[in-house]
Copies of this chain bind each other. A is one copy, B any other.
Amino acid sequence: MILGRRKQSTVVNEFSFSDRSQLNNAQRLVIKLGSAVITREDGHGIALGRLASIVEQVAECHQEGRECIMVTSGAVAFGKQKLAHELLMSMSMRETLSPNDHLKKNLAMQLKAAAAVGQSGLMSLYDAMFSQYSIKIAQVLVTKLDFYNEETRTNLFNTLSELISMKIVPIINTNDAVTSQPQGEDHIKSNGKMVFTIKDNDSLAAMLAAEVSADLLILMSDVDGIFTLPPDHEGAKMISTYNTDMADLIQFGKKSSVGTGGMDSKVQAATWALNRGVAVVICNGMQEKAIKSIVQGTQIGTFFTNASTSNNTPVETVAENARSGSRILQKLPPEDRASAINVLADLLISKQAKILEANEKDVAKAMKEGIAASLISRLSLTPSKLKSLAIGLKQIAETSHTNVGKVLKRTKISENLDLTQVTVPIGVLLVIFESRPDCLPQVAALALSSANGLLLKGGKEALHSNKALMDIVKEALATVGAQDAISLVSTREEISDLLAMENHIDLIIPRGSSELVRSIQDQCAHIPVLGHSEGICHVYVDMDADLDKALSIIRDSKCDYPAACNAMETLLIHEGLFEGPFFNEVCDMLKKENVQLFSGPKLSSRLTFGPPQAKSLKHEYGELGCTIELVSGMDSAINHIHAYGSGHTEVIVTENSESATKFQRDVDSACVFHNASSRFADGFRFGLGAEVGISTARIHARGPVGVEGLLTTKWILKGDGHVVSEFVEGGKRTYVHEHLAINN
């Protein structure tokens, strides 16, 4: 038998995939579309857009070389709609009949008739759609009886495998015109030993998937997945990864509103297929790109696996633990949080051998893969790096005594009614960082210091290093009973899944390249992101500038570290300086530093053989490149900055302090500097202690952000039975609103 041969000749995981990321290897797919997926909300006619999208995804899978078998509902709905139409048409010819009655009676017509009418229409719709992708389909109508008979069953599977080998997509539907809706407890034998009941299209699809040795079965209906409780119940949680040990955790509710498959039967069908080596995902067919997402390993729907989930805590649970961990940290006296940070600092030294050993594995792998030397140097840990890291941590421990619970405001509202505003942690942070593993203990210390829960998502290039560092973070947390406050999120969790966890994560901090920051900001609609989207920083050289200072500031701003967000991208020069020697000196200096120059339109019009024109005045080079433009004066410089800048950092070079004051007042950027390099825009240089990041947002935190950026406030009111109704005009109490002294 063809199917048998395939199984011997290719490597198939007999015990199903243990991990979503492996689903990309699924070669043979059975995709079951429930009637809710395929039917319009009104129950009549096909949901065309949804079907088109599913066909598109199946076509893509097919073109990737996967073998797809579809099990479809929908003939009834198609037929209902078609019959209603025919009846309306005939009605217009018999106008004496009362149209409403006629219609109502006919809308209640037998489902069987509708199925008979709809079958061919549905298939030609599939045919028209798949033909757009040059894919041939085959209609395979089955009845329950076909499965009870060994011979018809064998014929059926032989036909299916022939079709698949001819690159044809079989589309399977129950022949509802001749069979009853399958129900009852008719058991059938499979492979001569198994006992199974085909109750609905879910069990039919599970049976088929097992018989054709599919790698993956996708059951699409109108629920998002399997929940711990019926989804409309309070506290119901979707289970992202299900294994059979979890059966007891689940309480099943009523059936899906459309279709005959309730969730319990879905779980039964899925488990049946799973036990025969087929990975299963139950998902919502209304979700866009569900099939593509599943084969890409994205966490949607419920994934059924035989692999034990014990050392694979769902990320939602990890986040919930971070929240309760944060609450434990908050309750601790500050000395305890400081002590945990000190423990962590000491462990960096005492466990140095283990950390460096893990790091060597990552470095070796990176070198084998031919990663750039600069990246490898970022990835490498050394005893001296660990030592300075430990020193930094001890400093964070020192400052952590006053971070949380600091009184910001005290007001006497009325006699015996006192209001205090105090700092509290934000809650749960997600920090996404690239390559540099030293980021991990640093961020962990900041979270500990500010009593925030923390999820860390590191790059997979630093896998071993991060794991070793996380071990010592957990060890330090354990000394204060808050092991779960900080966790490393496994690399298999997709960032997009994390970004959607708006109920679990309060603030996201991407640390890394500006591409990383930008991509996170673009993807993240519902959780605030702290970071700089772009750093298009300007240096403006005024007519009254000290030109030596200007040269030195320009060199430092552009060349000290061109990849940094606070490096200069555009140099604005007062046009009065164009004729003198300064302009050439600047260009010569920048060229000597290997800076590629581009000119703005105004400069360009003044030069016959100048540098090439900048393609955009709103451009972040992030390397040794720089736009130079002439401006007619300070106002024109400010207008240029407002039109093309990103609100990060701007510099004026001038000896005229009045101009400097005006520039610093009028320029609307996070940092505005006078006679200093743009490179000072940095948390450490600003003296904010450990830097959380630089923000170009206009709310919460702006510019370089220290640990204050990880804090919010809480209002504490102490009264003695005060109620607002006593404060009405002529009431027995009045508002005082007296500011009280703060003694932190």
Q: Is A677 in contact with chain B by the CB < 8 A criterion?
A: yes
Chain B residues in 8 Å Cβ range of A526: 525
Q: Is the CB of B718 within 8 A of A713?
A: no
Contact partner of A132 among B45, B134, B673, B715, CB < 8 A?
A: B45
Q: Is the CB of B81 within 8 A of A132?
A: yes
Q: How many angstroms from the CA of A419 to the CA of B676 in the assembled complex?
A: 11
CB-CB nearest in chain B for A704: B715
Q: Is A128 in contact with chain B by the CB < 8 A criterion?
A: yes
Most buried by B among A128, A331, A411: A128
Q: Is A104 in contact with chain B by the CB < 8 A criterion?
A: no
Chain B residues in 8 Å Cβ range of A49: 49, 52-53, 56
CB-CB nearest in chain B for A49: B52
Q: Contact mask A542-554 → B, CB, 8 Å, 1/0?
A: 0000101100110
Q: Is A37 in contact with chain B by the CB < 8 A criterion?
A: no
Q: Is A346 in contact with chain B by the CB < 8 A criterion?
A: no
Q: Is the CB of A721 within 8 A of B673?
A: no
Chain B residues in 8 Å Cβ range of A715: 670-672, 681, 686, 703-704
Q: Is A40 in contact with chain B by the CB < 8 A criterion?
A: yes
Q: How far is the CB of A164 from chain B (nearest CB, A)?
A: 16
Q: Is A259 in contact with chain B by the CB < 8 A criterion?
A: no
Say whether chain A's binding surface is mostly helix, strand, loop, or mixed.
mixed
Q: With A670-B714, A686-B419 in contact, is A84–B134 under 8 Å at CB?
A: yes
Q: Is A189 in contact with chain B by the CB < 8 A criterion?
A: no
Q: Is the CB of A698 within 8 A of B556?
A: no
Choose the segment among A169-177, A203-211, A222-230, A722-730 that binds chain B (4+ C-beta atoms closer than 8 Å).
Answer: A722-730
Most buried by B among A46, A330, A556, A723: A723
Q: Is A578 in contact with chain B by the CB < 8 A criterion?
A: no
Chain B residues in 8 Å Cβ range of A237: none
Chain A residues 649 to 681 lying within 8 A of chain B, measured CB to CB, are 660, 664-666, 668-677, 679-681
Q: Is A15 in contact with chain B by the CB < 8 A criterion?
A: no
Q: Is the CB of A722 within 8 A of B506?
A: no
Q: With A81-B134, A419-B686, A676-B417 in contact, is A721–B553 under 8 Å at CB?
A: yes
Contact partner of A677 among B53, B129, B666, B724, CB < 8 A?
A: B724
Chain B residues in 8 Å Cβ range of A702: 712-714
Q: With A124-B128, A699-B700 in contact, is A722–B413 under 8 Å at CB?
A: no
Contact partner of A717 among B132, B668, B674, B719, CB < 8 A?
A: B674
Q: With A331-B666, A552-B723, A721-B553 in contact, is A128–B131 under 8 Å at CB?
A: no
Q: How far is the CB of A560 from chain B (nearest CB, A)?
A: 5
Chain B residues in 8 Å Cβ range of A616: 234
Q: Is A192 in contact with chain B by the CB < 8 A criterion?
A: no
Q: Is the CB of A132 within 8 A of B40?
A: yes
Chain B residues in 8 Å Cβ range of A668: 327, 330, 424, 427
Q: Is the CB of A669 within 8 A of B714?
A: yes
Q: Is the CB of B725 within 8 A of A528?
A: no
Contact partner of A419 among B129, B546, B687, B719, CB < 8 A?
A: B687
Chain A residues 37 to 88 lying within 8 A of chain B, measured CB to CB, are 40, 45-46, 48-49, 51-53, 55-56, 78, 81-82, 84-85, 88
The number of times this chain is found in the oligomer is: 2
Q: Is A367 in contact with chain B by the CB < 8 A criterion?
A: no
Q: Is A532 in contact with chain B by the CB < 8 A criterion?
A: no
Chain B residues in 8 Å Cβ range of A381: none
Q: Is the CB of B723 within 8 A of A553?
A: yes
Chain B residues in 8 Å Cβ range of A670: 714-715
Q: How many angstroms from the CA of A713 to the CA of B417 in the assembled complex?
A: 32
Q: Is A392 in contact with chain B by the CB < 8 A criterion?
A: no
Q: Is the CB of B411 within 8 A of A687?
A: yes
Contact partner of A724 among B125, B507, B560, CB < 8 A?
A: B560
Q: Is the CB of B327 within 8 A of A675?
A: no
Q: Is the CB of B129 within 8 A of A48?
A: yes
Q: How far is the CB of A684 from chain B (nearest CB, A)?
A: 8
Q: How far is the CB of A248 from chain B (nearest CB, A)?
A: 21
Q: How far is the CB of A555 from chain B (nearest CB, A)?
A: 7
CB-CB nearest in chain B for A424: B668
Q: How many angstroms from the CA of A557 to the CA of B553 in the assembled complex?
A: 60
Q: Is the CB of B556 within 8 A of A685?
A: no
Chain B residues in 8 Å Cβ range of A665: 330-331, 405
Q: How many angstroms from the CA of A704 to the CA of B181 in the assembled complex?
A: 59
Q: Contact mask A696-711 → B, CB, 8 Å, 1/0?
A: 0011101110000000
Q: How many angstroms from the CA of A52 to the CA of B719 in the assembled complex?
A: 63
Chain A residues 117 to 140 lying within 8 A of chain B, measured CB to CB, are 121, 124-125, 128-129, 131-134
Q: Is the CB of B134 within 8 A of A722?
A: no
Q: How many angstroms from the CA of A660 to the CA of B7 in the assembled complex?
A: 68
Q: Is the CB of B699 within 8 A of A506?
A: yes
Q: How many angstroms from the CA of A713 to the CA of B546 in the assembled complex?
A: 29
Q: Contact mask A387-409 → B, CB, 8 Å, 1/0?
A: 00000000000000000010000
Q: Is A426 in contact with chain B by the CB < 8 A criterion?
A: yes
Chain B residues in 8 Å Cβ range of A45: 132-134
Q: How many angstroms from the CA of A677 to the CA of B733 in the assembled complex?
A: 14
Q: Is A618 in contact with chain B by the CB < 8 A criterion?
A: yes
Q: Is A716 in contact with chain B by the CB < 8 A criterion?
A: yes
Q: How many angstroms from the CA of A687 to the CA of B121 in the assembled complex?
A: 70
Q: Is A617 in contact with chain B by the CB < 8 A criterion?
A: yes
Q: How far is the CB of A205 from chain B (nearest CB, A)?
A: 24
Q: With A669-B714, A717-B674, A737-B687 in contact, is A528–B528 under 8 Å at CB?
A: yes
Q: With A234-B616, A234-B617, A698-B427 in contact, is A721–B546 under 8 Å at CB?
A: yes
Q: How far is the CB of A113 from chain B (nearest CB, A)?
A: 17
Q: Is A101 in contact with chain B by the CB < 8 A criterion?
A: no
Chain B residues in 8 Å Cβ range of A125: 128
Q: Is the CB of A85 within 8 A of B699?
A: no
Q: Is the CB of B411 within 8 A of A735?
A: no
In addition to A528-B528, A679-B724, 6 A-B residue pairs with Cβ atoms within 8 Å of each other are A48-B53, A81-B132, A506-B698, A672-B717, A673-B716, A675-B718
Which 10 residue pairs of A and B lie closest in terms of their CB atoms, listed nearest first? A676-B719, A556-B723, A687-B737, A549-B721, A48-B52, A525-B525, A85-B134, A700-B700, A45-B132, A49-B52
A-B contact pairs, 20 of them (CB 8 A): A45-B132, A49-B53, A85-B134, A327-B666, A327-B668, A330-B668, A426-B698, A427-B698, A507-B699, A528-B699, A552-B721, A557-B723, A560-B723, A670-B714, A671-B714, A675-B721, A676-B721, A680-B717, A685-B735, A702-B713
